[in-house]
Amino acid sequence: MATYEQVRMFTDGVCLGNPGPGGYAAMLVSGLHRKELNGGFRLTTNNRMELMAIIVGLELLPRTCEVVVSSDSQYVVQAMQKRWPQRWRANGWRLADRFRRLDITAE
């Protein structure tokens, strides 16, 4: 079994109003290396920012790693525990009502 480098990712997202202006931040730590990132949107939701922090952090990884994510968001924790991303993908990134798309792309 292959062993992968372990990366710890600390994330947070925030929004003033829901929807409203918001931002996200993530810090990736591996050994002595540390990378910080952040971004924001003029019109967004808190849940979107919580997820964006993780997505953008994962996109920075140059190779396959074991990633341990720390988040204070119950939404993120439940999504991972209940495997919601797998259902979202199977539904074509659409919500249960089939009309609204999940939009987590950069503006």
The answer to whether residue 86 is domain-embedded is: no
The answer to whether residue 83 is domain-embedded is: no
pLDDT of residue 24 exceeding 50, the answer is yes
The answer to whether residue 106 is domain-embedded is: no
| pTM given for the model | 0.81
- The predicted model gives 96-107 an average pLDDT of 56
23: Cβ–Cβ under 8 A, 6 or more apart, which residues?
13, 14, 38, 39, 40, 41, 49
CATH of the domain at 50: 3.30.420.10
Number of structural domains the chain divides into: 1
The answer to whether residue 85 is domain-embedded is: no
Helix %, strand %, coil % for the chain, to 5?
30, 35, 35
> Which structural domain range is residue 50 located in?
6-72
The answer to whether residue 12 is domain-embedded is: yes
Q: 33-58: per-residue pLDDT in tens?
A: 999 999 999 999 999 999 999 999 99
The answer to whether residue 79 is domain-embedded is: no
- The predicted model gives 25-39 an average pLDDT of 97
The answer to whether residue 82 is domain-embedded is: no
The answer to whether residue 41 is domain-embedded is: yes
**Integer CA distances (angstroms), 95 to 10, 42, 57, 68, in order:** 27, 22, 24, 27
